[in-house]
Amino acid sequence: MPARPATVPIAPISYAGSPLDRADHIRTSPEALAQLRGPGARVLLLDGLDPVLTSQDTLRWGDLDAVSPEAELVFLGLDGEGTERRACFAPVPVVKPGETPHAGPASWSAMAVLSHEELAIYGGARALVGWHARHRFCAQCGSETVLDKGGWQRTCTSATCGVPHFPRVDPVTIMSVEHEDRLLLGRQPRFPEGRYSALAGFVEPGETVEEAVAREVFEEAGVRVHDVTYIASQPWPFPSSLMIACHAVAKDDAITMDETELDDVRWFTRAEVEEAVAAKTERGEAGLAFDAPSQSAVAYVLLKWWLDRGPVT
Amino acid sequence: MPARPATVPIAPISYAGSPLDRADHIRTSPEALAQLRGPGARVLLLDGLDPVLTSQDTLRWGDLDAVSPEAELVFLGLDGEGTERRACFAPVPVVKPGETPHAGPASWSAMAVLSHEELAIYGGARALVGWHARHRFCAQCGSETVLDKGGWQRTCTSATCGVPHFPRVDPVTIMSVEHEDRLLLGRQPRFPEGRYSALAGFVEPGETVEEAVAREVFEEAGVRVHDVTYIASQPWPFPSSLMIACHAVAKDDAITMDETELDDVRWFTRAEVEEAVAAKTERGEAGLAFDAPSQSAVAYVLLKWWLDRGPVT
């Protein structure tokens, strides 16, 4: 796998850059954890899995009294320095009927207004408490599980089973695919009108990142690729993906679309991508070849990277 | 994140390179799946999660009669070309009491003797059937689950829940950390005598690959790093990790070891790493600074890459 040119900058990655110290040594110490659950602690307030914002568009925090004493609390980490050091927690919500793990309107709004650091705190908390909410039972034996290690584990309560379960992170490949200075982008049926984005798919057991990229592009577009290059990664908390953004070069430009996955997939010229990305920055403009992905998505970072890299000469 | 030099070769990645066509369109078609479960199909024989080898050190396959009619079967993919095309399955075993998901003697033996392609088939199958064996119940409601989509999903049998569950892949970062042409390697208590390897740890919700690398190195060795570079990836089926191998540069060489995780961690010179890696290739040699990781581990690939890259001038 060839390297990406070191000189090409990467745009800011949304949901990265949490300022919290995860302080993992505290997770394994029930005494230290109990001590942190004192008057200085703060609790991230959530509406189910959605963020709750103040009138100043910041995350809303409460003290421990703000949540039910029965609520399971996840230890997110430590905030601040020295005597200002505070423990941060988030409560595990109950899964609402019909609630999907995808990003809803409240999350998209938060992406538009929260600071980079607060968005990262919210994302990390959402992925973690969402996993707890969906893992109240042991997948191995069906017994109830309880929160353990400050929320970085759940443990089966059955005396004959008792296995530990760990928060899940699903690696997903997402790729810019290039052929003669054009980029392959597709649209899923659920996309807003005009939106095209990078193809993507989960890494499966038994394959490398590079193999997953090649498989996905072939499955979805019938295009064979080579020279897969790692570009950047992003934690995406809907429900808990690790987006692994790569670039790949197509062997030729003939497309065979997977109609069960995509509405359309096609090649866009550098000028078309450039216009669409510029319009996204300026929030909306008419007469474009397509609507670029959100600036919060790593797909946007990939498109920006490809534009900044320029044509291969 | 800077790029790794494109000219430095990467050693073969064990468990990568499966020759099977995953044929994902078949998974969603019960008719196509039923048709494949005919006389031409072959089933990978396993001893629990361990491989079963022939006297020629190849994987042992049987036909559908070789497994119980009640056994859940996972569709691994298609093998061969044209009229030689066969569907490959693997049975879901029952978890044995005390069975760990780590690599045992039978797996290490298989790594030493199986061909690159057969090892990849075994690894992909093991990760997948192991996940099924440990997910017979719904983590959300505790009801039983059944195998679905040819084994690429389990579905909750409760009429009020019915959620789908997907095979799990856990992203793990593993890193070569460099300071003035020396490499930081550590040993875990469970390692064989003399063994040192690259530090490693799971990617947690809410962090990028690069952030996970920096956090792990600081947690385990108290060393701050910069310039994290992606090198390679590997599917590691014990139980189902995606190893993401990176290189990082240390800010200084002062070590504060995490004594709960490691027996020792220290800096090795280029000459020491070179000797240890060379000895590994030739299977055992006395008078080394340390015993290098197995050639099947991506840690070995990282060490080889660092040696081949040479000192930074």
Residue A285 pLDDT: 53
> What is the helix (H) or strand (E) element at residue B271, kind and residue range?
helix B270-281
Token pair for residue B250? 């240390």
CB A175 within 8 A of CB A248: yes
CB contact under 8 A, A205 and B120: no
Q: CB distance from B240 to chain A under 8 Å?
A: yes
Please compute Rg for chain A using Cα positions: 22
Confidence tier at A6 by pLDDT (50, 70, 90): low
Nearest chain B residue (CA) to A100: B163
In whole numbers, what is the pLDDT of chain A averaged over residues? 93
Q: What share of chain A is helix, strand, coil (3-state, %, to 5)?
A: 25, 30, 45
Confidence tier at B38 by pLDDT (50, 70, 90): confident
Separation in Å, CA of A171 to nearest CA in chain B: 6
Considering only CB atoms, A210 lies closest to which of B15, B233, B258, namely B233
Residue B8 pLDDT: 86
Q: CB distance from A270 to chain B under 8 Å?
A: no
Distances (CA, A) of B109 to A145, B4, B49, B124, B207: 36, 33, 14, 17, 36
Give me the sign of the Cα torsion angle B102, B103, B106, B107.
positive
Residue A53 pLDDT: 97
Reduce the DSSP state of residue A53 to 3 states and report it: strand
In whole numbers, what is the pLDDT of chain B averaged over residues? 93
Q: Are strands A241-250 and A170-179 parallel, antiparallel or unpaired?
A: parallel
**At residue B286, does pLDDT exceed 70?**
no
> By mean pLDDT, which of A230-239, B56-65, B179-188, B283-292 is the weakest?
B283-292
Residue B99 pLDDT: 77
Residue B84 pLDDT: 83
Q: CB distance from B23 to chain A under 8 Å?
A: no
> By mean pLDDT, which of A93-102, A115-124, B86-95 is the weakest?
A93-102
CB contact under 8 A, B123 and A206: yes
CB contact under 8 A, B140 and A134: yes
A13-52 pLDDT, tens digit per residue, is: 999 999 999 999 999 999 999 999 988 899 999 999 999 9
Nearest chain B residue (CA) to A22: B215
CB contact under 8 A, B205 and A3: no
> By mean pLDDT, which of A28-32, A284-288, B41-45, B186-190 is the weakest?
A284-288
What's the complex ipTM? 0.95
Residue range B170-179: average pLDDT? 98
A129-185 pLDDT, tens digit per residue, is: 999 999 999 999 999 999 999 999 999 999 999 999 999 999 999 999 999 999 999
CB contact under 8 A, B210 and A233: yes
Beta bridge partners of B89: B43, B75
**At residue A5, does pLDDT exceed 70?**
no
**What is A170-309's CATH topology?**
Nucleoside Triphosphate Pyrophosphohydrolase (3.90.79)
**At residue A4, does pLDDT exceed 60?**
no
Residue B291 pLDDT: 85
Which of A7, A21, A24, A163 is best to mutate for the B interface (most B CBs within 10 A)?
A24
> By mean pLDDT, which of A130-144, A227-241, B7-21, B206-220 is the weakest?
B7-21
Residue range B205-220: average pLDDT? 98
Considering only CB atoms, B120 lies closest to which of A1, A4, A206, namely A206
**At residue B1, does pLDDT exceed 50?**
no
Residue B306 pLDDT: 93
Nearest chain B residue (CA) to A15: B206
Residue B288 pLDDT: 79
pLDDT > 70: percent of chain B: 95
The label of the residue with tokens 């000459």 reads: B271
**At residue A1, does pLDDT exceed 50?**
no
In this structure, the number of other CB atoms found within 10 A of the CB of residue B23 comes to 17
Q: How many cross-chain Cβ pairs, A to B, lie less than 8 Å apart?
A: 174
B241-285 pLDDT, tens digit per residue, is: 999 999 999 999 999 999 999 999 999 999 999 999 988 865 545
Between positions 179 and 208 of A, the ones with CB within 8 A of B are 202-208
- State the DSSP code for B80: S
Separation in Å, CA of B135 to nearest CA in chain A: 5
Contacts of residue A5 in chain B, CB cutoff 8 Å? Answer: 3
Between positions 130 and 169 of A, the ones with CB within 8 A of B are 131, 134-145, 152, 163, 165-169
CB contact under 8 A, B242 and A13: no
Distance CA A58, CA B234 (A): 40
Considering only CB atoms, A16 lies closest to which of B134, B144, B211, namely B211
The angle formed by the CA atoms of residues B290, B296 and B301, to the nearest 5 degrees, is 70
CB B231 within 8 A of CB B302: yes
Nearest chain B residue (CA) to A203: B169
Give me the sign of the Cα torsion angle B266, B270, B274, B275.
negative
Considering only CB atoms, B134 lies closest to which of A139, A233, A235, namely A139
Residue range A264-287: average pLDDT? 82
Residue range A256-279: average pLDDT? 94
**At residue B6, does pLDDT exceed 70?**
no
Per-domain residue ranges for chain B?
24-134, 139-168, 170-309
Contacts of residue B234 in chain A, CB cutoff 8 Å? Answer: 208
Residue range B110-116: average pLDDT? 95
Residue range B194-219: average pLDDT? 97
Reduce the DSSP state of residue A86 to 3 states and report it: strand
Nearest chain A residue (CA) to B206: A124
SS (H, E, C) A14-35: CCCCCCCECCHHHHCCHHHHHH
Which of B230, B246, B257, B260 is best to mutate for the A interface (most A CBs within 10 A)?
B230
**At residue B5, does pLDDT exceed 80?**
no
